[in-house]
Amino acid sequence: MSEAIKQLAERLRSRFPGAAVQHDERVDQITVVVHRAALRETALMLRDAPEFAFRQLIDLCGVDYLAYGDDEWTTQRATTRGFSRGVRRYAGEQDPDRGDPHRFAVVYHLLSLDHNQRLRLRVFAEDTDFPVVASVVDIWPAADWFEREAFDLFGIHFEDHPDLRRLLTDYGFVGHPFRKDFPLIGNVEVRYDPDRGRVVYEPVTSIEPRVLVPKVIRAPGHEQPMAPPTELPVAPPGGPADA
Amino acid sequence: MPEIQNYTMNFGPQHPAAHGVLRLVLELDGEVIQRADPHVGLLHRATEKLAENKPFNQSIGYMDRLDYVSMMCNEHGYVLAIEKLLGIEPPLRAQYIRVMFDEITRILNHLMWLGAHGLDIGAMTVFLYCFREREALMDCYEAVSGARMHATYYRPGGVARELPDYMPQYQPSPYRSKRELERMNAARQGGLLDFIEAFTDSFPSRVDEYETLLTDNRIWKQRLVGIGVVEPERAIELGFTGPMLRGSGVEWDLRKMQPYEVYDRLDFDIPVGVTGDCYDRYLVRVEEMRQSNRIIRQCVDWLRANPGPVMLDNHKVTPPRREEMKGDMESLIHHFKLFTEGYSVPAGEVYAAVEAPKGEFGVYLISDGANKPYRLKVRPPGFPHLAAMDEMVRGHMLADVVAVISTLDVVFGEIDR
Amino acid sequence: MWEMLNSGWAAVPEIVRTPSVILLQIMAIVLPLLGVVAYLTYAERRVIGFAQLRVGPNRVGWAGLLQPIADALKLMFKEIVLPANASRFLFVTAPVLSFMPALLAWAVIPFADGALLADIDAGILYVLALTSFGVYGVILAGWASNSKYAFLGAMRAAAQVVAYELAMGFALVGVLMAAGSLNLNDIVRAQAGGFFHWYWLPLLPLFVVYFVSGLAETFRLPFDMAEGESEIVAGFHVEYAGMGFAMFFLAEYANMALISALTATFFFGGWLSPLHGVPVLESVPLLGGDGFHWFALKTAFFLFCFLWIRATFPRYRYDQIMRLGWKVFIPLTIVWLVVVTLFVTTGFGPWF
């Protein structure tokens, strides 16, 4: 299949000179990174151009790159406090104003039934405080719930989505739980309050946040921690050349 | 004169036909559905977030609990993604075992689906017939992994254990005669492969039994034909996969189109529907059970003839054997590192998909080179199916909602994750 | 001793004597009937268990025979829950209204020749009136529960009963024409003369319609939309618990027994032996002789059919049931009534 994938990569490069097309040889998959402004044109072309014909949207998900490449292992600050010795927690302590415009991304997985090919499309939401990406519901109707899910879990807004409600979390939930700065134990816990005779929400007190196995970045087969890959593939600004 | 309003009904989440915890807000005009708004997420456990906080191997068990009626297929998708990123391929025998258990899982899932579908339409007997066969297949799970449902059997680099040469047996009980006990244990005297072979011999006639009860039954047909019709074009647009897509007449099966493991070496057919209604999807799934049976049989024959390792020898990824550990320092260190820290997966991203019984089960994995996934996204097959619920039931009657829910084959473990 | 009792009885004034005799007769019917209903639930679970490759209740008592008693005790001691905003009076009355007619109709069933509580001439009319009365309990239960599911169940039940009551009535018109009497005892007598003299043969379509309508009338599968456990959960009795629920349960089973008994009476010669006219067997005392045992046997067979059908068929949809009732059964019965008219005028066969 590799040859066909290479050809697809070539075609994509010539069709979308404004996008970053990467072909990961190891897993033989193609990622196209487009600029936010060019998303809908790219999507339409990928769906309608007969040489692509990606008629099916298989998956759509949000990604939060806040803690990408950070590990939780430190030997400098080793303490004698027991279990979490040597562990520093990154996700929650991360400086939220890292100012990285590439914190939130939306990843689309496309499938072309005609050519039997897959494609990954990524778009960065640019704004960290209010990430917005154009909705593709009218291009691929399957995106409806997937976009609702990404909105729910990551707080990414999809412009012109017909019904952007929370999907998976509770009615009246606050926050976006899959963001890296959202603690794993959550912000609130519920219990039945016998005095008030109803279920109440309270800040979490019953669980200690802790890291069971610290996250460690190592090059495969080596014992030394590896420098994390800091360079994220980013699309140059602007749209496709012919747009 | 009072204004005439539509009737809003809350269907679920504790409804017997909601297949778990679906809450469906229905707007009814008499008994005719005007609008259906599924509310999901009551079983949301943040599996993906939990997986981001654990070494890769510790999340395999979570995958079982996603679609809890097709357990091993979920593991397969996840394990396949890790293997692709690591750039390893399991031994051939392990691939055959995986395929065999994928198909056993497919039968398990379709039996559960058929039983529940029958029960929803009101045919109670077929439910228990299906559970008779499920019981045998669950025993295969038990024999191979020790657990009847959540097996955690597939591992990156192979499968956890070699197939056992004994089967769990029924124990004596005051309510079971000795002769009955012997009859029940008759197929369990040999190893797992013998048991599975005996199962594949009897299974087609069992499927005939289900079909006798349902396929030509007038009431069954009246309840399913022409209900929840999805045109092929629309099915593609809506992101349908698996039997839902094939029921609409689109020939698409990852096992044939993008073969993984050893599916390209096996001989099987892909059933395709014509009209895309509930009845076609029923026929497609029943035929898939027969085809899975064929695949299992071929795997059994191959596995009999070809002994060999079921796990890679690469101890950076797979744990060494216990005996080796006792004598070899290197192995002990590998074992210690694997079970305290786990292996690190090279940075990169991958999407791996398997043809799960319900459709395409995909795993999108981003690794930043650490021992935990940076981001794990599970693409559950039932999710886009349920999203199309409103479209499929509009204009149908209340009783058809039940038929459509069960034809979607929804399981909330995977939809809510 | 006997003399004394007899003379003592004669001394009791007439006004006390007659009611107490009737009361005893009622007891003699109702108490065994309740036993039959209780054990019908047991039989159902065992029969369906057999059909579904499982055992059914087998732990309480020998082979589970005490299970109905245990169930009854459990239901009796359970709390009766009144839903919020339910109409209390109707909510409590509904199970009674549902159960009562199921028992009342037994008054005109001939268990053996002349052995019936009320030998009234308008027997068929009485039966028809009471069987359709039972649905009021269902409708009231659905209405009083203040639940949308229950209400839907009640609406379905009302529509269904109206449709099938008509078909049932027409089917009985055929019997009436054939027998020339509304009295159930006379109807059975008119069928005398062996298996092929009974009305099931000349009135075969009417028999099928009657029995299937009976299934619909008792809300049994495949017509159990009023309950429809996978659609509207339990329909009209979704809000009932404990004895309220038990009453509906009893009513359903008593109705099943009633429909079976009526089918046996109308189409299968009631207490008559099927062996009249068979050379040797005819003279065997129990086999050839008429009597209660034949009636019980036939009723039991139809009850078994109820269970058998339940284990086999899926459930119809609401509009399909309506279609079957209005567009198939009623025309069919009307057509066959014309045929029966021809039979009667020509004096066809041994039947007319």
Contact B46 A55 (CB under 8 A): no
Domains of chain A, residue spans? 1-65+100-169
Q: What count of Cα atoms within 13 Å lies in the side-chain half-sphere of residue C256?
A: 29
Peptide bond into B13 cis (omega under 30): yes
More confident site: C307 or A91: C307
Q: Fill in the DSSP letter of residue C325.
A: I
**CB-CB neighbors (< 8 A) of B353 in chain A:** 58
- Report pTM: 0.86
A and C interact (at least 3 Cβ pairs within 8 A) = no
List pLDDT tens digits, range C141-175: 888 888 888 888 888 888 888 888 888 888 888 88
Structure tokens at C219: 């809300």
CA A183 – CA C177 distance, rounded (Å): 82
CB proximity C317 to B under 8 Å: yes
Confidence tier at A226 by pLDDT (50, 70, 90): very low
How many angstroms separate the CA of residue B25 from the nearest CA in chain A? 14
Residue A74: the pLDDT is 61
Q: Lowest mean pLDDT: which of B106-110, B335-339, C134-138?
A: C134-138
**CB-CB neighbors (< 8 A) of A56 in chain B:** 236-237, 239
**CB-CB neighbors (< 8 A) of C317 in chain B:** 222-223, 397, 399-400
More confident site: B136 or C347: B136
Is residue B286 packed enough to be buried (19+ CB in 10 Å), middle (13-18) or exposed (0-12)? middle
Residues 6+ apart with CB under 8 A from C192: C269, C272, C276
B and A interact (at least 3 Cβ pairs within 8 A) = yes
Q: Which residues of B229-254 are buried (b: 16+ CB within 10 A; e: fewer)?
A: bbebebbbbbbbbbbbbbbbbbebbb
Residue A228: the pLDDT is 44
Residue B105: the pLDDT is 93
Q: Is the pLDDT of residue B79 over 90?
A: yes
CATH 3.30.460.80 for domain A1-65+100-169, yes or no, is: yes
Q: Is the pLDDT of residue A221 over 70?
A: no
Q: Fill in the DSSP letter of residue C296.
A: H
CB proximity B132 to C under 8 Å: yes
List pLDDT tens digits, range B40-69: 888 888 899 999 888 998 999 899 888 888
Residue A214: the pLDDT is 80
More confident site: A222 or C147: C147
Percent of chain A with pLDDT over 70: 77
Chains near A (3 or more Cβ pairs under 8 Å): B
Confidence tier at A243 by pLDDT (50, 70, 90): very low
Residue A73: the pLDDT is 67
Q: Is the pLDDT of residue B191 over 80?
A: yes
Q: Is the pLDDT of residue B190 over 80?
A: yes
CB proximity B369 to A under 8 Å: yes
pLDDT (mean) for C72-87: 84
Confidence tier at B351 by pLDDT (50, 70, 90): very high
Nearest residue to B254 (alpha-carbon basis) of B263, C196, A68: B263
Classify C108 as helix, strand or coil. Answer: helix
Q: Is the pLDDT of residue B115 over 50?
A: yes
| Type of residue numbered A37 | A
Confidence tier at C111 by pLDDT (50, 70, 90): confident
Residues 6+ apart with CB under 8 A from B182: none
Q: Is the pLDDT of residue B109 over 90?
A: yes
Contact B217 C316 (CB under 8 A): no
Chains near C (3 or more Cβ pairs under 8 Å): B
